[in-house]
Amino acid sequence: MQGRTVQGYAALEKIAGTSPDLLKSLLEGSPDTVSVSDARQPDLPLTYVNPSFQKTTGYTSEEVLGRNCRFLQGDETSPDDVARIRKAIADREPIDVVLLNYRKTGEPFLNSLRMAPIFDASGDLSAYLGIQRDITEERIRAESENSRNRLEALGTASGALAHQLNNLLHPVTSLISLHLPDIPDPDIRTDLEMAHYSATQAAELSNNLLGLSRGQFEEDTGVTTLPSALIRTVDLVRLMLPPTVTIETGFSNIPTDVNIPISETMFAQVIINIVTNASQATKHSGTIRIELAEIEGSKAQISIADNGPGIPFGLRRRVFDPFYSNSISKNSTGLGLSVALQIINKVDGNILATEGLLQPNGDGRGCMFTIDIPTIT
């Protein structure tokens, strides 16, 4: 009996004999999506989907029975994943695969699919069983957790590095400035002044690094103070992006410090994700303008505008959908903006996409993301 687990089958037969409804209820009540395809018909048409299938995909069973389930695939579904499924079917092997599928609304979701060939009592291949789970939310949480861990590790490493650098730079600046007045030759003095200037700049950079580690080491109070935290985060972003990107800032619209109810690591994640997205939009060669304002004394508003190709009006809400991207690549998870919106929504804030900076050719406008966060009063 090929591929058939005999053990346990007897128990199943008993259930089938005494309470056949239970078997049906198991399938119908399963939180995971269960689908069955007929292996005896050409192109493996679906012969059963449980209610969870409709909940996840938006298709009713009437709409899908008799069709091959490839209608769930779409533009961004990886051909490699599809090829793996095909090969498993050809080899009559089970397969585990995570692939991008699309709901009836066109909304992409990440589908964790397990598929197995089912053999009947005489050992003939009769069906394919598909168990599926929408793991989009799970992936967003994991992505958010990953970047939080990365930021914390970066904070720890940069803090340690900054202390070492400061200790090394202190003698440089101190000794040069100590002896500079005694140098009679103006040319040598100019050279040493240049060396002193460079060492001072390096010390400043090192202090910026040190700033990154603040808020990480302090107990996480869940409060972030603006503009100082924004200045630190933008310093970090500058280090992360290629130097071909121009970042302009306007933080002077805030008269005093403003507190927002979010931890600095989470806040940094939001800013980094949006600025990175803006940089990608300009192909890392445009201008990004970041501004901070206080609205009606109850909201902090941060706008991040770029001069990239912009987003057509009708699509501006959809950029926050998971995997909404025309360029999911190795460097981009397609989740950056979804993660940012989720973090901000959690503190009763919002992010809106509107028109940004004038494009370099003067034709149109790039994109602007405006983050509103309620302040703590």
Partner 1 sequence: MCQILLIDDMQPVRHAIAATLRKAGHDVVEADDGHKGLEIASSRQFDLVITDIMMPASDGTDVVFELKTRSSAPKVIAMSGGGAGIPADNALQLSSTQADAVLKKPFTNDVLIETVSELTSN
- The C-alpha atoms of residue 288 and residue 280 are separated, in whole angstroms, by 11
Q: Which of 175, 240, 295, 315 binds partner 1 (CB under 8 A)?
A: 175
Q: Is residue 163 at the binding interface for partner 1, with CB under 8 A as the rule?
A: yes
Q: Torsion angle, CA of 7/12/14/19, rounded to 10 degrees?
A: 170
| Span near partner 1 by CB under 8 A; candidates 157-165, 293-301, 336-344, 358-366 | 157-165
Q: Least distance from C-beta 209 to partner 1, angstroms?
A: 12
Q: Least distance from C-beta 216 to partner 1, angstroms?
A: 9
Strands 246-250, 287-295: pairing is: parallel
Q: Is residue 170 at the binding interface for partner 1, with CB under 8 A as the rule?
A: yes
Q: Is residue 203 at the binding interface for partner 1, with CB under 8 A as the rule?
A: yes
Long-range contact set of residues 172-181: C-beta below 8 Å, sequence gap at least 24: 172/196, 172/199, 173/199, 173/200, 173/203
Q: Is residue 169 at the binding interface for partner 1, with CB under 8 A as the rule?
A: yes
Q: Is residue 156 at the binding interface for partner 1, with CB under 8 A as the rule?
A: yes
- The C-alpha atoms of residue 146 and residue 336 are separated, in whole angstroms, by 12
Length of the chain: 377
SS3 347: coil
| Span near partner 1 by CB under 8 A; candidates 135-143, 155-163, 249-257, 304-312 | 155-163
Q: Is residue 178 at the binding interface for partner 1, with CB under 8 A as the rule?
A: yes
**How many residues of this chain bind partner 1 (CB under 8 A)?**
20
From first CA to last CA, the distance across the chain in angstroms is 71
Q: Least distance from C-beta 210 to partner 1, angstroms?
A: 8
Q: Torsion angle, CA of 41/46/47/49, rounded to 10 degrees?
A: 160
Q: Is residue 160 at the binding interface for partner 1, with CB under 8 A as the rule?
A: yes
Q: Which residues in 218-237 contact partner 1 (CB under 8 A)?
A: 218
Contact characters 103-142, partner 1, x per CB under 8 A:
----------------------------------------
Q: Is residue 313 at the binding interface for partner 1, with CB under 8 A as the rule?
A: no
| Span near partner 1 by CB under 8 A; candidates 154-162, 317-325, 336-344, 366-374 | 154-162
Q: Least distance from C-beta 211 to partner 1, angstroms?
A: 10
User: Token pair 């009996």 is at which residue?
Assistant: 1
Does the N-terminal peptide bond of residue 227 adopt cis geometry, omega within 30 degrees of 0? Answer: yes
Q: Is residue 213 at the binding interface for partner 1, with CB under 8 A as the rule?
A: yes
Closest by CA position to 136, among listed 103, 176, 87, 173: 103
Could you write out the DSSP letters of every residue in 93-121?
Answer: --EEEEEEEE-TTS-EEEEEEEEEEEE-T
SS3 152: helix
Q: Is residue 20 at the binding interface for partner 1, with CB under 8 A as the rule?
A: no
Nearer residue to partner 1 within complex by CB, 165 or 266: 165
Q: Is residue 83 at the binding interface for partner 1, with CB under 8 A as the rule?
A: no
Interacting residues toward partner 1 by CB under 8 A: 156, 159-160, 163, 166-171, 173-175, 177-178, 203, 213-214, 217-218
